Each structure stands twice: as C-alpha cells, then as structure tokens.
Amino acid sequence: MDGESIELRGTGRLLDLCLSAKIAIDHVCGGGASCGTCRVLVVKGAKNLPLRNELEQEMASDRDFSFEERLACQLEISQESDFIFEIPPSE
C-alpha cells in the first residue's frame, strides 16, 4: 500500500482496523505489545489519540519512541480519533 491513503472507520485497536481493511502490518507477537513490529508513525493528529497504556508505555520507554510513534496493537481508536499515520518499512 505504498503511498496510498485509506480512510479507516470504526472503533477498536488500530491493528484490528488495519487487518480488517486488508492493510498489511507486521505483528509478530500477535498484538501483545512484546515485539514492537506493529509500530506506526502518527504524522498528524497525535494529540487526538488516547495516552499510551502501561504495556505500550513500557515498550515506548525501552525503545525510545518519540511521541508520534505508537503500537497499533495497543492504540484504541474511538469515533473521535482523527489522525493520519504511516506504517514504516519493516526492520
């Protein structure tokens, strides 16, 4: 999906919304916040998102994530969430 823009609708974990929309996103640990492969970069609207939960905060601290880097498996999306994100290339 290089460079494509896709609008996601719904609520729930960003990882689940991506997978439902057939957007390829790595998630080696299956969504347990233990691998970091589902990391996304929020390029617009990061302040519109909920704060990191405990698992995501631990991973973010361990890996020195910026404010804009989030784990799709832990990011809960609500109807009010308005943001743009990119999926970085696999490492």
Q: What is the pLDDT of residues 9-52, one digit of tens each?
A: 889 999 999 999 999 999 999 999 999 999 999 999 999 999 99
Mean pLDDT of 78-89: 88
Here the tokens at position 81 are 């969430």
pLDDT value at residue 65:
97
The torsion angles phi and psi of 90, rounded to 5 degrees, stand at: -60, 145
Q: Is the pLDDT of residue 91 over 70?
A: no
Tell me the fold of 12-86. Answer: Ubiquitin-like (UB roll) (3.10.20)
Strand, helix or coil for residue 37: coil
Go through 48-78 and write b for each residue having 16 or more CB atoms within 10 A of its CB, e for each that does not: ebeebeeebeebbeeeebeebbbbbbbbebe
- For the chain, the C-alpha Rg in angstroms (whole number) is 12
